[in-house]
A and B are shown apart, each in its own frame.
Chain A
Amino acid sequence: METLESMQVPVEACISSSVSTAPVTTLPPRHSVLVRITHWIITLCFFALLLTGVEAAWIAVLTGLLYAISGLFTGHFRKDLLPGRADLSWRALSTSIAKPLRLERPSEAEACSYNVLQRLTYLFVIFVLFPLVIWTGLALSPAFISAFPASVTLLGGRQSARTIHFFVSVALVLFLLVHVAMVCLAGFGRRTGAMITGRTATRKEHT
């Protein structure tokens, strides 16, 4: 296989041991189909929601639910996002922070999975920021809070719900900016390609 031979990464770096005996053509995609599709739907909705749009909110929430439920069942969160015990050390954390700050491009092997900082950030965005922005958004609906008044009293009333909603939105925008910056650092074309086609195998670029 031309593409595999020219890859810079040892095959084992990208495939789990359970499938390592399978023919090379079944190399699992870097991102599953579902992750890729939901990623881009959420991206579109996110931009729409920065302006306005109840409809985009519906699509974003339904897509997010699909992603969260399938992530639980396929083990996506456990395998790809939950940091390993060994990774939760200061040394691993500081390396993952320092490397991009020195503008060091991650190796292909590193790009095959997420480092501890990425894992913690994605988990925070998926399980804290997004649920919080949905909750504080619902707390701004006079009809919703008439049925579920605790949803707004817990947040300290409408105006503080609104403040939290905006702060979380800003946090999500910051995440988006850093996310795109990191994608650029790691190679925009290749990383974006991986999120579109799922493939990471690339032509040999250097001699």
Chain B
Amino acid sequence: MIDLSRRKLILTGLAATAGASGLAVAARLAQKYGLVPPDHGGICGLGETLTFASQRLLTRHSLAREFPPSQISPRPFPNELAPLTEDFKRLQARGFAEWGLSIDGLVVQPASFSISELKSYPSRSHITELVCEEGWSYIAEWIGVPLSYVLHLVGVHPQARYVVYVSMEPNTWESIDMADALHPQTFLCYGMNGNELPVAHGGPLRMRLPRQLGYKNIKFITRLTVTDSLKKFGKGVGSAASEAGYAWYAGI
């Protein structure tokens, strides 16, 4: 009887140790392969981590569905805009000629680009669905320069893990990991349905990544920062939206 319980005790101990070290190894591996989102803490963190990790494993290179031109929505819904700032209106009055996108952080050559410079680079387009957390969606043609092209221009250091992007709207900033930043459908987007990108849809420049919900596709972007850690940005959970309780990874 004593032998039996001792054996049981040892086996239970071994099993618990194996389980705990298995979990620790899994956590290490997940960290190493970039499968842990910045908002992994808190009560919903485990769910966020499982979603992000499993989707990264399943969809790292998948392409968002593209549609034929006949499917383009006739009346794309312009999301409600916060009042435009005086700075924005000044730039708008001059046709955004002085709009600048600066890139800094872990890059070889920090730089700033005007809209016309961005337009001089190879232009790409895709007809994809913009999907809002609120439920509505529409299909449009999005025109821009792939973010990966501009990142290659400035030269990204190998330890880079995230790109933080900041809007001219107050307290609006987001970040994505390098898998999304280098994804071929992720655009610095300046055109829509064959025209300039309307202000109502984020003109002159918005981020467009069709594999995540609308709120990652923020409007009026003026600054990109390449970084190896999101800890020093805001509260360290990766974006203004996730500070407000939204998921940082919005592939959902």
Given A146-B59, A146-B64, A147-B58, are A54 and B48 neighbors across the interface (CB < 8 Å)? yes
Asked if A149 is an interface residue, CB under 8 A from chain B, the answer is yes
Task: Check if B131 sits within 8 Å of A55, measured CB to CB.
Answer: no
Considering the chains assembled together, what is the distance between the CA atoms of A142 and B210 in angstroms? 7
Name A158's contact: one of B137, B210, B247 (CB within 8 Å): B137
The 8 Å CB contact of B247, one of A54, A56, A162, is A54
Q: A1 interface residue, CB < 8 Å from B?
A: no
Contact check: which of B47, B58, B213 meets A142 at CB < 8 Å? B213
- Chain B CB within 10 Å, residue with most, of A54, A143, A144, A146: A143
A58 beta carbon closer than 8 Å to chain B: yes
- The answer to whether B14 has its CB under 8 Å from any CB of chain A is no
Pairwise interchain contact B63-A142, C-beta atoms closer than 8 A: no
B199-218 interface mask toward A, CB cutoff 8 Å, 1 = contact, 0 = none?
A: 00000000000111100000
Interface centre among B55, B59, B212, by most chain A C-beta atoms within 10 angstroms, is B59
Q: How far is the CA of A146 from the CA of B213 in the complex (A)?
A: 13
CA A137 to CA B47, docked complex, whole Å: 15
Q: Is the interface of B mostly helix, strand, loop or mixed?
A: loop
The yes or no answer to B23 lying at the interface (CB within 8 A) is no
Does A93 touch B at the CB level, under 8 Å? Answer: no
Interface residues contributed by chain A, number (CB under 8 Å): 19
Closest chain A CB from B56 CB (angstroms): 9
User: How many B residues face the partner with a CB closer than 8 A?
Assistant: 25
Q: Smallest Cβ distance from A167 to chain B, in angstroms? A: 14
The answer, yes or no, to whether A141 is at the interface (CB within 8 Å) is yes
| Contact across chains for B251 and A143 when beta carbons are under 8 A apart | yes
Closest A residue to B247 by CB, please name it. Answer: A54
Which residue of the partner chain, among B46, B62, B252, contacts A147 with CB atoms under 8 Å?
B62
Interface of A is mostly: helix
- Distance (whole angstroms) from the CB of B107 to the closest CB of chain A: 27
Binary contact readout A46-80 vs B (1 if CB under 8 angstroms, 0 otherwise): 00000001111110000000000000000000000
Interface string of B133-159 (1 = CB under 8 A from A): 001010000000000000000000000
B51 at the interface (CB under 8 A from A): yes
Residues of A within 8 A of B27 (CB): none
Asked if B51 and A58 make an inter-chain contact with CB atoms under 8 angstroms apart, the answer reads: yes
Query: B65 near A: Cβ within 8 Å?
Result: yes
Nearest A residue to B64 via CB reads A146
Q: Is B50 an interface residue (CB 8 A)?
A: yes
Instruction: Indicate whether A27 reaches chain B with its CB closer than 8 angstroms.
Output: no
Contact B62 A143, beta carbon cutoff 8 Å: yes
> Contact between B51 and A54 (Cβ–Cβ < 8 Å)?
yes
Interchain CB contact under 8 A, A143 and B47: no
A144 close to B55 (CB less than 8 A)? yes
Q: How far is the CA of A33 from the CA of B245 in the complex (A)?
A: 36
List the A side residues contacting B91 at CB < 8 Å.
none
With a 10 A CB-CB cut-off, give which of A140, A146, A149 has the most chain B CB atoms: A146
B55: chain A residues within 8 A (beta carbon): 141, 143-144
- Taking CB atoms, residues of chain A closer than 8 Å to B247 are 54
- The answer to whether A146 and B44 touch (CB under 8 A), given A54-B51, A141-B251, A159-B137, is no
Known pairs A53-B44, A162-B135; A142 contacts B51 (CB<8 A): no
Residue A145 lies at the interface, judged by CB distance under 8 Å to chain B: yes
Inter-subunit contact B44/A143 (CB<8 Å): no
What distance in Å separates the Cβ of B128 from its nearest Cβ neighbour in chain A? 9
Point out the residues of chain B lying under 8 angstroms from A152, CB to CB: 65
Q: Is the CB of B131 within 8 A of A158?
A: yes
| Nearest chain A CB to B62 CB, angstrom units | 4
- What are 21 inter-chain pairs, A to B, with CB distance below 8 A? A53-B44, A54-B51, A54-B247, A55-B46, A58-B47, A140-B252, A141-B252, A142-B129, A142-B211, A142-B251, A142-B252, A143-B211, A144-B55, A144-B58, A144-B251, A145-B65, A146-B63, A146-B64, A146-B65, A146-B210, A152-B65
A residues at B contact (CB < 8 Å)? 53-58, 140-147, 149, 152, 158-159, 162
Q: Which 4 A-B pairs have the closest CB atoms?
A: A55-B47, A143-B251, A147-B62, A146-B62
